[in-house]
Structure 1
Amino acid sequence: MKEIIIDNNQLDKRLDSFLKGYLPNASGGFIYKMLRKKNITLNDKKAQGTEKLKLGDSIKIFFADETLEKFMGKESGAFEPTISFDYKKLGVEVIYEDSNIVLLSKPAGLLTQKAQPKDISLNDYLIEYLIDTGAITKKSLETYKPSVCNRLDRNTSGLVICAKTLAGARCMNRLLKERNLDKYYRTIVEGKLSDSFMLKGYLTKDEKKNKVEITSEPINSDSDYIETEYVPLEYLSDRNLTVIEVKLITGKPHQIRAHLSSIGHPIIGDIKYGGHKIAGLNYQLLHSYRIKFPNDLPEEFMYLAGKEYISKLPTAFEKVLGKG
């Protein structure tokens, strides 16, 4: 018999939703059958699965150990790293941390989340870091797994918001979804930009080419309306380059890269969207530079209200700017 005591990271979840996450290899039909037969109970009573979990609730699962491990996915090492690595050597920097969230600065070249099982990602760094610092345990991963809340392209560097708790995940994901969190990027584009501007258009993704197209009108029902705001910071006249800060109003894959390219100012190094190699760069020089939290936040997160966090520019920027 396995007993699970509900803590804050499972609070207010539906029982059936929790069980589907805890037993990923079990079908929904099987889970409901086990509930009907009282092979799974809530507070020692028969449950429907629709109950909202409360702090201290007891879930008991009356399976043989090998059956439980099969449905949890433990026999395939679901709760162990798929590949050995030293997380401290990934070049990730912790910018800010509290009991609910972590702000990490990702280097260019590191995936935010796995694309293949053997990949090492920022999410793997997060888990290893939290285990190493004692914020979580391997056992706690069975019921809740901390995760990144937003993604950056592999070769885009900078700030990524990560949730340590369910409360943190719910708050950060809501801010991102409702666009209440200001996200600013730094980049260098080809050509001269003199004035601040708000770019508007529609983005359509070509899945086969992993590339997007920007148009003034939607191409089809999959076209997404986008807005990208930029402010010029410095013009490098000797190389005809402009350093700009971009505020991401909407957040779609490749949005900044494609939007700037569509007005004839591709990001340096961004060969996919018309940029050229400069200083040996063969990837987009784009950095998630700062984030600013809104003043209106849930009470338990008011300590973040109006706060701003910055990830310093990487060495590649300094080299292009002649400061490295």
Structure 2
Amino acid sequence: MREISITSVDEGQRLDKYLAKFMPEAPKSFFYKMMRKKNIVLNGKKAAGMEKLAAGDVVKLFLADDTIDKFRGIAGAEKQYISKADTTSKKQRVKLDIIFEDEDILVVNKPVDMLSQKADKNDISLVEHITWYLESQKDNEDKEFQGFKPGICNRLDRNTSGLIVAGKSIKGLQSMNELFRERKLKKYYLCIVKGKITKFKRIDGYLTKNENHNTVTISDKMSEGAHRIITEYEPLGQGMFQDGYYTLLKVHLVTGKSHQIRAHLKSIGHPIIGDSKYGYKDVYKIFRKEFGLRHQLLHAWRLKLGNDEKVPEKYRDKVFEAALPDEFLNILKGIGIDNRDFCK
């Protein structure tokens, strides 16, 4: 028999969902069968699986330890390799740049060249690094994070740096996902673009994604499969480099589609420097040669939460900001843009 005490990390989710995360190798039918036979009970009573868990609830599994371990994916001979696998993973861990943390959410400044989520089963993404970080913080391995796996609420391209919000608890993950989905927060980015921009502007258009090539195109007319997009930008400074003008932009992502900022700015003749996919090839070559830049210089800089009733009270009017990477700062200096006052 194994007894699990539910903590605030897991409250709010259904019992059957929790069991599926706790024992991911078990078929769903197994849980319902065990609940019918009272081999799995909630607070000492028969359960159906649809019950919402609360902190302090107790789930008892009247199952053999071997059965539990098998369905958790650590059965038999695999156990002897756990320590070795853990040692290997530690070598790949990085220290997270944590902007904010409480019991429900974690806000991280993601570096360039890190996936937000796995694209392949062998990838190590920010999600894995967050999981390792939280595991290192927990006091008791048998009490915390047994059924809950941390998840992120927004994603950035591999070579875009900046703010990502993760849920440390079901409550935190669900509430922040809803805020992103319903646009109850404002997302601001910083980037350097080709050309001289002197005025604030709001632009809109229609974005169509080419799934085969992982690219998007922008049009001023609606077409089948297109999504309307809105982007606002404001110049924060101009500089010159090799006889060309460049502008530091603060971009407000009003809508949120994949590659929106990169493609939208390219469509108006101001592509982001370092962007090999949507940028100008000659500009890309200049910044690669002079600064070693090999990716788009785009940084998810600021998140501003509103005071809407759907925003948890403790986060209302809260602002998160992520410092610019050194590479970004060095290029600003190199093209003559003073960054001391731009973060206003």
**Residue of structure 2 equivalent to 1:38:** 38
Counterpart check, 1:267 vs 2:272:
yes
**Residue of structure 2 equivalent to 1:159:** 163
> CA-atom RMSD, angstroms?
2.6
**Residue of structure 1 equivalent to 2:125:** 121
- Given that residues 147 and 163 in structure 1 are in contact (C-alpha distance below 8 angstroms), is that contact kept between their aligned partners in structure 2? yes
Deviations along 1:292-312, one digit per CA (max 9) or x if unpaired, are: 12123568x433322222212
Deviations along 1:25-58, one digit per CA (max 9) or x if unpaired, are: 2222232222222222223332222222233222
Give unmatched runs, 5+ long, in structure 1: none
- Given that residues 83 and 118 in structure 1 are in contact (C-alpha distance below 8 angstroms), is that contact kept between their aligned partners in structure 2? no
Deviations along 1:156-200, one digit per CA (max 9) or x if unpaired, are: 011111222222212211211111111110001111222211221
Deviations along 1:191-229, one digit per CA (max 9) or x if unpaired, are: 1222211221222222221112222234323x2222111
Change beyond 3 A, Cα 1:308–1:32 = same
Change beyond 3 A, Cα 1:91–1:23 = closer
**Residue of structure 1 equivalent to 2:292:** 280
**Which of 217, 241, 247 is residue 242 of structure 1 equivalent to?**
247
**Residue of structure 1 equivalent to 2:26:** 26
**Which of 144, 149, 169 is residue 148 of structure 2 equivalent to?**
144
The amino acid across from 2:295 in the alignment is Y
Change beyond 3 A, Cα 1:136–1:193 = farther
Offset at residue 13 of structure 1 (A): 2.1
Counterpart check, 1:67 vs 2:61:
no
Cα distance in 2 for partners of 1:12, 1:84 equals 31
Which residues in structure 2 correspond to 1:132-281 (within 5 Å)? Answer: 132-134=136-138, 137=141, 140-221=144-225, 223-238=226-241, 239-275=244-280, 276-277=283-284, 278=287, 279-281=291-293
Change beyond 3 A, Cα 1:51–1:253 = same
- Given that residues 232 and 243 in structure 1 are in contact (C-alpha distance below 8 angstroms), is that contact kept between their aligned partners in structure 2? yes
**Residue of structure 1 equivalent to 2:48:** 48
Cα distance in 2 for partners of 1:185, 1:2 equals 48
- Given that residues 127 and 146 in structure 1 are in contact (C-alpha distance below 8 angstroms), is that contact kept between their aligned partners in structure 2? yes
The amino acid across from 2:211 in the alignment is E
Cα distance in 2 for partners of 1:105, 1:303 equals 21
Cα distance in 1 for partners of 2:334, 2:279 equals 26
- Given that residues 304 and 319 in structure 2 are in contact (C-alpha distance below 8 angstroms), is that contact kept between their aligned partners in structure 1? yes
Cα distance in 2 for partners of 1:308, 1:219 equals 37
- Given that residues 130 and 136 in structure 1 are in contact (C-alpha distance below 8 angstroms), is that contact kept between their aligned partners in structure 2? no
Change beyond 3 A, Cα 1:12–1:312 = closer
Give unmatched runs, 5+ long, in structure 2: 336-344
**Residue of structure 1 equivalent to 2:306:** 294
Question: Structure 1 length as normaliser, TM-score?
Answer: 0.89
The amino acid across from 1:292 in the alignment is K
**Residue of structure 2 equivalent to 1:305:** 316
Cα distance in 2 for partners of 1:210, 1:250 equals 19
Question: Structure 2 length as normaliser, TM-score?
Answer: 0.84
Cα distance in 1 for partners of 2:123, 2:142 equals 20
Change beyond 3 A, Cα 1:168–1:264 = same
Aligned length: 321
Query: Which secondary structure state, in structure 1, belongs to the residue aligned with residue 21 of structure 2?
Result: helix
Cα distance in 1 for partners of 2:178, 2:126 equals 21
